[in-house]
Amino acid sequence: MWPSVPAFRTFSKIACPAAGKCDLPNCIFNHEAPKPQIISTSPAQNLEALDEEPAKKRLKLNDETKDIAVSAAPDEIKPSPVFVGSILPKAKTSVQNGINSTNSSSGQAASTATSTDALPRSATRPVSPPPTAATARAAPKPDTPVTLMPRKLAKEPVAFTRRLTFLKALHSYMKPQNERIAKAVKPEIKALHLTPNQLNKLAVDEEERLALDNPSVYENILKQRLVKLKAMTPEVWVKERREAIAKERGGPPKKAPQKKIDTGLSAKEETVFLTMLTCPQDGLDNHGYVTKLPTKEEFKEAELAQTSAAFWEECDRCATRFQVFPDRREEDGALTTGGQCRHHWGKRIFPKRAKNSAPEPTRLGCCNAPVGSPGCVTHDTHVFKVSDPKRLSLVMPFVETPDNKKAMPQSAVCFDCEMGYTTRGLEMMRLTVVSWPSHKPLIDVLVRPIGHILDVNTRFSGITAEQFVNAKPYDPENPKPVRKDLRIVESPYVARDLFLSHVTRNTPVLGHALENDLNTIRLIHPTIIDTVLLYPTRQGLPYRHGLRTLAKWHLDEEIQQGGASGHDSYEDARTTGELVLFKIKEKWKVMKIDGWTIGEEAVYPPMPAGTPPPDSPPDLPAASLPAEKRKMEIIEHGNDEEPPAKRQA
């Protein structure tokens, strides 16, 4: 039984569990702020401070010259609402005397209110230095115990007992494969051996993934996996383990050598065949392609609209409204406002429809969370993208491909751009151009953008901040690209000039979703071959297949497997060229049977019997024949200006 004293007397000396977040008008707990703890060498100062109730604790240095205000509640520290610019990753947080201090990069140092040099040092014991990278790697991380039990799902594909049976079978088939690795002679293979707890986690993770990805055919897929594990050789198991480790570390797994596509044509004939695949320009401007230069009136209209909007933009990731300062704000050097950006980077995954069952929520590919859930990734600033050609022209004007006599005749190129976010929108940061069909690298450089960098977009561009900052300048005397040591050019104008040095108006330019790359480089090119248009969806534009999907379907290749390391523009450009070769192989196989022929400059349709070859010189009039041949014609048919062929007719 409760004592007979009032409740407010019973709990009046106990601090409220909700603290400052309590919303009760008459809470029975104590809400008085605790007395601040004062560290000082003067007892009189301590007594005076006890009579006051400041909102923040104050620590006094031994020299009695400076006071540093430290918040009593670390949760109240909020990130700065402005971003002043820092693409390098922040250093790890160190703790000194219970005070959290984060050493940021040079660009972010301006937004830090308190310097680490001003922090008080402990008077009783020395502060241990923060762990270095070497010691952090050397320290073993204890494995979290994992029980061999299926994880609970929102919608179970089968009964729980059935899932448990499959999980135990999966574990029992994995165990012999793991034991064979432990007996390996080579140390690099022996290092792939899993502990019992790691093996449990591997089995639980794989069973959960199969249950989420294939709920309707869960049993069939898992049975196929068990059969594959039973007949699996140690070499295949080692390959799977290496690919899994590479994916966890964020690096691309080792790939098997690509199979060369045999079209049955020579390289020159393949280039001539590209005339059959060129995309017509009509109607492309409705789907993001720019086919004509913006007019001066459109340019002025876009400039006026941008000035009126005061550079307020919508975040391309979380749809938050924020303000951009392309040339920095004078009072504080800010580049953007709005604080941090929390978002999901993955695409939506629509569930498969099942009969007689409630529809499952649409989930996101990054964290498998339902649409509408809080973001799983946080960035220091919001970013934006510009798609309107008129606004793109404000940053860098469009140009049409000029005639270039130095470009190789009957040649083609594949190209791909990687983009990052700046105060001018989404700008080019890497340009890769390869010859086709040999895939020989022609250009592969980093590009310094026009605006201030907000995010290098590593997850998709594949460019790291360190790689960008430490890149060496491009050397025109030594233009040969080196993928492991990319050079950097000073502006997108220089990168575009490099690209135009290899092409002319009639040069076929191959790519995937070429409107993005051409708009990024601000180029209007009349001869394009886009794999998006070569392999259309059933719905047509704007719906399209991804490059990774097309490579898996038609080339049986796994690309863009870098995970957090991002894409490789050379890999994307080469894959695009291979998809075009595959399309040529398919079309030529049918056209050859129908009687089509390939000449020196074009592909010709079937001709009636007795017709001379298309590439043979046409019949010339008698007046244009050489003198000796003309003399023989006069002797045989008389001195008549009418051609013999016409007289016979």
Q: pLDDT tens-digit profile of 470-520?
A: 999 999 888 888 877 899 999 999 999 999 999 999 999 999 999 999 999
74: pLDDT confidence band, cut at 50, 70 and 90?
very low
Question: How many whole angstroms separate alpha carbon 254 and alpha carbon 414?
Answer: 24
Can you read off the two tokens belonging to residue 168? 């135990």
Predicted TM-score (pTM) of this structure: 0.64
Enclosing H/E stretch for 576: helix 569-594
Question: How many whole angstroms separate alpha carbon 622 and alpha carbon 629?
Answer: 9
CB 455 within 8 A of CB 422: no
Taking the mean position of all CA atoms in its chain, how far away is CA 343? 15
Can you read off the two tokens belonging to residue 517? 């790359």
Among residues 564, 629, 591, the alpha carbon closest in space to that of 263 is found at 591
**Per-residue pLDDT tens digits for 270-311:** 999 999 999 988 888 888 899 999 898 998 999 999 889 999
pLDDT, mean of residues 592-615: 81
> For the purposes of burial, counting CB atoms within 10 Å of the CB of 219, is it exposed (0-12), middle (13-18) or buried (19 or more)?
middle
- 552 pLDDT higher than 70: yes
CB 363 within 8 A of CB 294: no
CA dihedral in degrees (634, 638, 639, 641; nearest 10)?
A: -90
Question: How many whole angstroms separate alpha carbon 212 and alpha carbon 232?
Answer: 24
**Per-residue pLDDT tens digits for 114-132:** 333 333 333 333 444 444 4
pLDDT at 138: 40
* Eight-class DSSP state of 254: P
What rounded mean pLDDT belongs to the chain? 78
pLDDT, mean of residues 183-205: 89
Taking the mean position of all CA atoms in its chain, how far away is CA 612? 54
- 441 pLDDT higher than 70: yes
43: pLDDT confidence band, cut at 50, 70 and 90?
very low
pLDDT at 33: 62
- 32 pLDDT higher than 60: yes
Q: Which residue in the block uniquely carries the two structure tokens 């006051």?
A: 52
Can you read off the two tokens belonging to residue 646? 């016409």
63: pLDDT confidence band, cut at 50, 70 and 90?
very low
- 91 pLDDT higher than 70: no
HSE of 220 in the Cβ direction (CA atoms, 13 Å)?
5
- 188 pLDDT higher than 90: no
- 353 pLDDT higher than 70: yes
Percent of the chain with pLDDT over 70: 73
Of the listed ranges 85-94, 120-129, 298-307, 588-597, the one predicted with least confidence:
120-129
- 134 pLDDT higher than 60: no
pLDDT at 70: 44
